[in-house]
């Protein structure tokens, strides 16, 4: 819902909750402020996917919208920003704007198609404070231990994604 407010092809409002960069970001800022007021900003984080076309969103101005939003989230002192990477350039821009913990779900290379251990250097070179893994963590319930050991890894099976039962979610073996 927050993303729907941010994207101009899904937010068709003509009041102060739509239109301009500030208007489309308003809902996200208000949600973060309300949650922070209820439980504390240091217990609140937000995950953003600027410029990613999930479920048909189209964001030609993802950079100004997400930059404005991240500045406001930084003002609130949120514990973390978790970014699903659209482009590395935008990642670098938003990294500079946010002073809390910066978690990155890096753009996956075409092969193998999901975030892998090759991205660990992004913490060492300062691109992010922490990395998140989606598919690789599904397939490897003991992923931290495997990363520490340098593998081996079970390969995620796309055919089991979004399947509606536990297959592909809780049945991969540990080392």
Ligand X SMILES: Cc1cc2nc3c(=O)[nH]c(=O)nc-3n(C[C@H](O)[C@H](O)[C@H](O)COP(=O)(O)O)c2cc1C
Binding interface with ligand X (CB under 6 A) = 47, 84, 105, 108, 114-115, 133-136, 161-162
Least separation, in Å, of the C-beta of 20 and ligand X?
Answer: 26
Q: Which CB atom, from 159 or from 162, has the smaller least distance to ligand X?
A: 162
Least separation, in Å, of the C-beta of 154 and ligand X?
Answer: 14
Helix, strand, coil abundance in the chain, percent, nearest 5: 45, 10, 45
Tokens coding 153:
């890894």
Q: Which CB atom, from 29 or from 46, has the smaller least distance to ligand X?
A: 46
Which class for 147: exposed (0-12), middle (13-18), buried (19 or more C-beta within 10 A)?
Answer: middle
Between CA 150 and CA 169 the distance in angstroms is 22
Least separation, in Å, of the C-beta of 36 and ligand X?
Answer: 20
Q: Which CB atom, from 128 or from 136, has the smaller least distance to ligand X?
A: 136
Check if the beta carbon of residue 74 is closer than 8 Å to that of residue 100. Answer: yes
Least separation, in Å, of the C-beta of 68 and ligand X?
Answer: 21
Nearest to ligand X by Cβ — which residue?
134
Rg of the chain, C-alpha, whole Å = 18
Q: Which CB atom, from 23 or from 147, has the smaller least distance to ligand X?
A: 147
* Element of type H or E holding 102: strand 101-105
Q: Which CB atom, from 18 or from 79, has the smaller least distance to ligand X?
A: 79
Least separation, in Å, of the C-beta of 107 and ligand X?
Answer: 8
In the 3-class helix/strand/coil scheme, how is 138-158 assigned residue by residue?
HHCCCHHHHHHHCCCCCCCCH
């Amino acid at each position: 819902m927050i993303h729907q407010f941010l994207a101009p092809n899904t937010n068709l409002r003509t009041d102060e909750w739509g239109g301009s960069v500030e208007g489309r970001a308003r809902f996200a800022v208000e949600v973060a402020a309300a949650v922070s007021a209820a439980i504390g900003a240091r217990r609140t984080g937000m995950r953003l996917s600027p410029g990613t076309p999930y479920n048909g969103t189209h964001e030609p101005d993802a950079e100004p919208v997400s930059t404005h939003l991240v500045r406001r989230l930084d003002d609130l002192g949120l514990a973390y920003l978790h970014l699903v990477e659209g482009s590395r350039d935008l990642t670098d821009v938003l990294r500079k704007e946010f002073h809390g913990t910066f978690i990155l779900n890096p753009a996956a290379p075409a092969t193998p198609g999901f975030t892998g251990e090759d991205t660990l250097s992004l913490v060492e070179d300062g691109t992010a404070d922490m990395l998140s893994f989606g598919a690789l963590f599904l397939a490897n319930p003991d992923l931290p231990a495997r990363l520490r050991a340098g593998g081996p890894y079970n390969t995620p099976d796309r055919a089991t994604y979004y399947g509606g039962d536990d297959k592909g979610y809780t049945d991969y073996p540990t080392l």
